[in-house]
Amino acid sequence: AVHDTSNETGKDVTPEYSGIYSNTFNDDKFGILISGSVQERDNREQSMAVDNWIPNVDISTSPNLSVTDNNQRADGTTWYPQNAGYAFSDNTRKRTNGQLVLQYAPSEKLTATLDYTYSKLEFEKDGRSFGVWFNNGGNVNSANINENGTYTQVSEFGGDYSTNLNRGATTNENKSLGLNLDWQVTDNFNIEFDAHNSSAESAGAGIGHDAFMIIGNTSCGSCANPTVNIDEKMADFSQGEIPLIGMTLTNGQAELMPSDMGSLFAGVNKDSNTNDIDQYQLKSTWYNENSSALSSINFGVSHTKIDFRTTQTYSEQPAAGWWLNSADWYDDSLFTRVDSSGLLDGFSGGGNDKLLNYYYDADFDEIVAIAESIDCDHPDGGIGACSWPAELNGKVQAGPIDNDQRVSEKTLSFYTQANFETEFNNMYVTMAVGLRYEKTDVSSDSSEQPANSMVWINGNEWSYDFGDTIFSEGTGSTSEFLPNLDINVEVAQDVMARFSYSRTLARPPVGSLRSTTSFLGNPKVGQRKVAVGNPNLKPFVSDNIDLSLEYYYGEGSYMSAGYYRKQVENFIVNVTTQETMGDIRDPFVGERAEQAREDLAAEGVTPSDQAIHDKINENQGTAQGTGITGAATDPLTIFDVARDTNVETGNLWGWELAAQHMFGDTGFGVVANATFVFGDVEADRDAVGFQFALPGLSDSANLSAIYDLNGLSARLSYNWRDEFLNGFDQHSSPIFTESYGQWDINVNYAVNEQLTV
């Protein structure tokens, strides 16, 4: 069983079961192995996040602006927060593993093995996130910029304080069936045949892997039942470990009330990823029975076919949502004020230090039921656009597939390797020299939905108007020769020196091989993103050199030191450029929007997104809440267009140290190892825009105490990992994971030769 101290709503102690059984029958001609395990776990995750830091926003158009600028950067670059919010998620996991192996050996020269492996991971989450969303510098009241160009304090007019009610479920299932035939044809010739069929699927379950309803103050002072507006919202990143969020309301109201709350936005994501593999391999070994340095030769051929398919479904925008009078659809009793003072109380700035120590919660199913009762044709509904397909009018569900990507890879390979054993200057030497040829053909057949226009729905919410789905095809082909050389020399008794050179390759991520152009997410201001695939990407090719020295000074005890160096070519870089896409126009910066800003300024009204949207509708004589589509008088929209290309080469080198010491025959021992990584692929924290860097590289170390005697095996380990690059945000700024350590313990007992628990 596992005890989780982070759990809040599930079980604190969850079970874990595992077992294994193996045996042979009929004079060892038949054999069987069965193993399985089941693990359950409940936990809570808490976080405070800024989703993105936007470089060089223009805040000059904000009225009554007060800025303290301490920026010392020579290039003057600044980073502005996209949002600031708190979140928690209650998670449930269930992992099931099983394996069955059957073996038949009718003679000493022939063995047949059939194995089936199964694993399943079921994951469910029920979460809340709440906070404020900033306006890309549009309605700034005051701001502080530190010496690094970061906005450490931001205050904006207008907007909402919202809660994202989210839930989701995912099932990951893997199945693999394999057959192996091992035939000792003669005393010095062996043939082995392998055939495997495997499948893997990761799919959203239930309503989807990510379904959300956003509630918040609807900011409608002119409605029949007025709701309060935010006068000023702020975030302060200069104090404590957790940023502070605050707000003031119009008319001196101290807090949001249930009557201010309505639905703001909704969406459902339900994706599926499948991977089917058929693999066949024929390999042989010839053993040299003569007394020469050549000991054996390996050779073989293999064919692998991998079919990938990814489907995505996403629907959004319920008719009973969209600020304004959406609060009228929901009874005040549905919304509950929740004290959040206990959240993140382990950090300064969290817990009771928070300026806003409350949020509004609601029952997800109740809010969904009410939203679904108002379809897009309801005379008093449809406050915004309703983008569900006709057959799902108003329903909170993912709907039909709107993105279907299919990629197939066929790989044919041949290899041979000669193995040598000899003595040189009284030192025992082994050597392997090999060559592998590999050819891969790629075909992609994927759907795409071209966007015809953008629609400014309401407030800071946007959507695309998509055209009909079409399929786009693409092909690619690559081939490589991959040599290898391995030399082991026993330079002294119990001391082994090793040298290895190899050229290896790794296939590009399947998601990069699609042949489509995808408009990502919702086109909010500052978030207009497009991804373009490339089925002709080359594989990563690495030239590797490894040197090591090992000393085995006792039974089960050793020390080793190794040096490695890798030169990797064809690194894939996701290059982002700013481009227009067709004739998609931007109503946020067009003539109508500029006229609305001028009118609001003349009226003494703060030009918030919502106010500008309302004024455009007023000026053009359309109903409040009507979506605004780009017009010919609006400028073409500038998109961040990302493409994967093979453009970079990287060099990595470092050291690996390891030691294990067993204390005689007591069963006790200690194991330690450390890895040190260097290279020219590190990220520059101060760089602006695209840079090439390799995520995931860091120093690491492990220290373990072990016991293994009389059927009882136990290991207590401390694992440490240094800070590493986790990736890049949508503006190409590096994101790092801080250094961390963790403890692990594992205990098992062999009841007998057939059963271990």
Instruction: Give the whole-number percent of the chain exceeding pLDDT 70.
Output: 94
Pairing of strands 140-145, 66-69: parallel
Instruction: Please write the tens of the pLDDT for every residue from 401-449.
Output: 878 889 999 999 999 999 999 999 999 999 999 999 999 999 999 888 8
In the prediction, which pLDDT does 394 show?
Answer: 62
Convert the pLDDT of each residue in 202-213 to its tens digit: 999 998 999 999
Q: b or e along 34-50 (b: 16 or more beta carbons within 10 Å of the residue's beta carbon)? A: ebeeebbbbbbebebeb
Residue with tokens 């440490």: 720
Reported as a pLDDT band with limits 50, 70 and 90, residue 602 is very high
Q: What is the mean pLDDT of residues 63-77?
A: 90
Closest CA to 617 of 608, 626, 609, 630: 626
Give me the pLDDT at residue 533, please: 86
Give me the pLDDT at residue 318, please: 58
Question: Highest mean pLDDT range out of 442-451, 503-512, 614-623, 683-692?
Answer: 614-623
* Whole-number pLDDT of residue 58: 87
Kindly report which listed range (132-141, 321-330, 743-752) carries the lowest average pLDDT score.
321-330
What's residue 327's pLDDT? 84
Instruction: Please give the pLDDT value at position 314.
Output: 81
Q: Is the pLDDT of residue 182 over 90?
A: yes
In whole angstroms, what is the distance from residue 320 CA to residue 325 CA? 9
Mean per-residue pLDDT over the chain, rounded: 90
Q: Per-residue pLDDT for 756 more than 80?
A: no
Can you tell me the mean pLDDT for 521-544?
Answer: 91
Q: Is the pLDDT of residue 388 over 70?
A: no
Residue 699 has pLDDT above 80, yes or no: yes
Residue 213 CA: distances (Å) to CA of 30, 156, 162, 163: 57, 24, 10, 8
The pLDDT of residue 71:
96
**Chain segment 648-682, per-residue pLDDT in tens:** 899 999 999 999 999 999 999 999 999 999 999 88
Q: What is the average pLDDT across 162-181?
A: 97
How far apart are the C-alpha atoms of 258 and 335, rounded to whole Å? 6
Residue type, 707: Y
Predicted structure pTM score: 0.78
What does the alpha-carbon distance between residue 466 and residue 522 come to, in Å, rounded to a whole number? 12
Check residue 3 and give its pLDDT.
Answer: 43
Q: What does the pLDDT read at residue 469?
A: 84
Residue 188 has pLDDT above 90, yes or no: yes
For the chain, report the end-to-end CA distance as a whole number of angstroms.
Answer: 12
User: What does the domain layout of the chain look like in residue ranges?
Assistant: 2-50+74-127+159-206+265-314+380-749
- Average pLDDT (109-125) is 97
Average confidence (pLDDT) over 85-91: 96
- Helix axis angle for 609-620 and 591-603, nearest 10°, is 110
- State residue 380's pLDDT score: 57
User: Which CATH class, in words, describes the domain spanning 2-50+74-127+159-206+265-314+380-749?
Assistant: mainly beta
pLDDT of residue 317: 62
Work out the percent of the chain whose per-residue pLDDT is above 90: 65
pLDDT digits (tens, 9 = 90+) for 27-58: 999 999 999 999 999 999 999 989 889 999 98
How far lies 420's CA from each of 293, 417, 642, in Å? 5, 10, 50
The mean per-residue pLDDT over the stretch 456-478 comes to 89
Q: How confident is the model at residue 2 (pLDDT cuts 50, 70, 90)?
A: very low
| pLDDT tier at 239, thresholds 50, 70, 90 | confident
